Chains A and B, each alone.
Chain A
């Protein structure tokens, strides 16, 4: 079974979501090609070629792919898709943006955001914000699948180097263009890739108070997140948001501070290995999913935690 994985990267380094998608591909079959599309991104292809399970790397470089605009990216993926029975991409904003286009171009109903490979045609995926898990069987001959990266442990460097071949770029459709990007700059790890996440909720009371979390995060090498309530209150920007409408995380340790635990927030973090909740309301639903709960005023508990770490 030939599998094509479309890599996510930023033209210089590979994103961990790709490693997870390759891991999901390995559970389906062993003939795995990875397509790296971008601009001046040969270093990414080299990185991919060293990964465990990758049999072949295809590299398409062109200015038109610099910003991964969905229209041109989908067209390129379609152009190389012929021999593959599976096309996989991470279910991140990168993958979600173009993969359904590929699905429409190839007339194959996509399966979104799988969390488990049951068999070569059957997969598990969360529905209703993770309230239920559906087991679905694809009847398509060419299966198009997006993969929830937190559900698969990413592949690491393997014993051999896969060969890299070049793929010709196509003419741009010229119907969309990049204007600018405003990416959050931080020395901390990315939320979805961090081993430890410290998140604040409405209980933080203000954006300034997030410095209490920053200091602890720096000591733990953690990323800082937030609940939708904290984002909606304007405490922190939206890219902090953990939850069904934000980022899905599953770190080794998730520390929820001043977060009540609305369903939509739990959907984004309940697969974390260890969950800690600090909240002064002992009836907060977050305590029902927490491994360790501390009923305390966060303005007393956080400085104490900070000083004792």
Chain B
């Protein structure tokens, strides 16, 4: 069984992102870039399935700029067998990424595709579902548990009211939520080995579909800041303020 894991290069989750001074975009100068945390969870799940004997090959793929090779090397160090970079000069939108991944799926014919539920930059939460629709595959989003069998998978999903388990026929798309697993760290020997693993590069513009921008970014600003509050001295004062000043309890 072949598993494809699409990943994304994003600003490290510890970085506090701010707008550029002209508010044209976020300021990404000299910030640390990493593999999107939800993608790390997806990769970890795929590698565990391989280690358990359920899968035979794990392929990491990304659609991004040349620098994304760095994140693909990380994926290789974490246990992916080979990697594919679909190189793009610009930051592609989810639908374009999904179309590029669909081309890769047609070539590679994976049985399972595991992706992060969303990337922590755009917070779109779209790519997995779009890929699933383009391929006509089944989907299970927000997975917290995957039980894989030969031609299907039982996936437990985190939904607003609790948990839902669905059975999906393979090939299928699964997107990961936080509780699916805890990703490992890459060991130094594995980082060294990753340098020798196969990494193929395909150009997005040669994939044969329209990649033009469908959404224009007009501006990026900081959210409205809350005015500073007051420190109350006692529970009595707190109750008094809530009743008589804020009037939110009676």
Instruction: List, in ascending order, chain A residues with CB within 8 A of B81's CB.
Output: none
Instruction: List, in ascending order, chain B residues with CB within 8 A of A184's CB.
Output: 161-162
* B179:A238 contact, CB within 8 angstroms: yes
* B226:A270 contact, CB within 8 angstroms: yes
Instruction: List, in ascending order, chain A residues with CB within 8 A of B223's CB.
Output: 126, 130-133, 270
Instruction: List, in ascending order, chain B residues with CB within 8 A of A100's CB.
Output: 94, 125-130, 133
Instruction: Report the bound CA distance from A291 to B95 in whole Å.
Output: 41
Known: A176-B168, A181-B162, A291-B230. A132 touches B139 (CB 8 A): no
Instruction: Report the bound CA distance from A29 to B126 in whole Å.
Output: 25
Q: What's the nearest-Cβ distance from chain B to residue A47, in Å?
A: 19
* A139:B214 contact, CB within 8 angstroms: yes
Instruction: List, in ascending order, chain A residues with CB within 8 A of B189's CB.
Output: none
* A126:B123 contact, CB within 8 angstroms: yes
B167 partner, pick from A70, A177, A228, A270, beta carbons under 8 A: A177
Instruction: Report the bound CA distance from A109 to B126 in whole Å.
Output: 9
Q: What's the nearest-Cβ distance from chain B to residue A274, in Å?
A: 5
* A71:B139 contact, CB within 8 angstroms: yes
Instruction: Report the bound CA distance from A174 to B229 in whole Å.
Output: 55
Mark A119-131 against chain B: 1 for CB-CB distance below 8 A, else 0: 0001000111111
Is B188 on the interface with A (CB-CB < 8 A)? no
Is A188 on the interface with B (CB-CB < 8 A)? no
Instruction: Report the bound CA distance from A132 to B93 in whole Å.
Output: 18
A295 partner, pick from B11, B161, B178, B231, beta carbons under 8 A: B231
Instruction: List, in ascending order, chain B residues with CB within 8 A of A96's CB.
Output: 125, 129, 141
Known: A100-B130, A131-B18, A133-B222. A304 touches B214 (CB 8 A): no
* B178:A245 contact, CB within 8 angstroms: yes
Mark A84-113 against chain B: 1 for CB-CB distance below 8 A, else 0: 000000001110111111111101111111
Q: What's the nearest-Cβ distance from chain A to residue B10, in Å?
A: 9
Is A137 on the interface with B (CB-CB < 8 A)? yes
* A292:B242 contact, CB within 8 angstroms: yes
Q: Which of B49-57, B104-112, B232-240 contacts A (4 or more CB under 8 A)?
A: B232-240
Q: Count B-side interface residues using an 8 Å CB cutoff.
A: 78
Instruction: List, in ascending order, chain B residues with CB within 8 A of A130's CB.
Output: 223
B163 partner, pick from A138, A181, A245, A291, beta carbons under 8 A: A181
Instruction: Report the bound CA distance from A304 to B125 in whole Å.
Output: 43
* B238:A109 contact, CB within 8 angstroms: no
Instruction: List, in ascending order, chain B residues with CB within 8 A of A41's CB.
Output: none
Q: What's the nearest-Cβ distance from chain B to residue A249, in Å?
A: 12
Q: Which of B59-67, B70-78, B152-160, B192-200 contacts A (4 or more CB under 8 A)?
A: B152-160
* B159:A93 contact, CB within 8 angstroms: yes
Q: What's the nearest-Cβ distance from chain A to residue B234, in Å?
A: 8
Is A230 on the interface with B (CB-CB < 8 A)? no
Q: What's the nearest-Cβ distance from chain A to residue B7, in Å?
A: 18
Mark B165-201 against chain A: 1 for CB-CB distance below 8 A, else 0: 1111100100001110000000000000000000000
Is B124 on the interface with A (CB-CB < 8 A)? yes
* B248:A301 contact, CB within 8 angstroms: no
Mark A263-305 against chain B: 1 for CB-CB distance below 8 A, else 0: 1000000100111100000100001111111111000010011
Instruction: List, in ascending order, chain A residues with CB within 8 A of B178's CB.
Output: 228, 245
Is B34 on the interface with A (CB-CB < 8 A)? no
Instruction: List, in ascending order, chain B residues with CB within 8 A of A305's CB.
Output: 235, 238-239
Q: In chain A between 218 and 271, which residues have their CB closer than 8 angstroms to a CB of chain B?
A: 220, 228, 237-239, 244-245, 247, 252-253, 263, 270
A139 partner, pick from B166, B215, B226, beta carbons under 8 A: B215
Q: Would you list 17 pairs from A and B whose C-beta atoms are within 8 A, ordered by A residue?
A: A70-B141, A101-B132, A104-B133, A110-B126, A112-B123, A130-B223, A138-B215, A139-B213, A178-B164, A181-B163, A239-B160, A253-B242, A274-B248, A275-B229, A290-B229, A294-B231, A294-B238
Given contacts A139-B215, A274-B248, 17 further A-B contacts (CB under 8 A): A67-B164, A69-B166, A104-B95, A105-B133, A109-B93, A126-B123, A128-B123, A131-B16, A133-B223, A136-B217, A137-B215, A238-B144, A239-B158, A287-B231, A292-B229, A294-B232, A308-B235
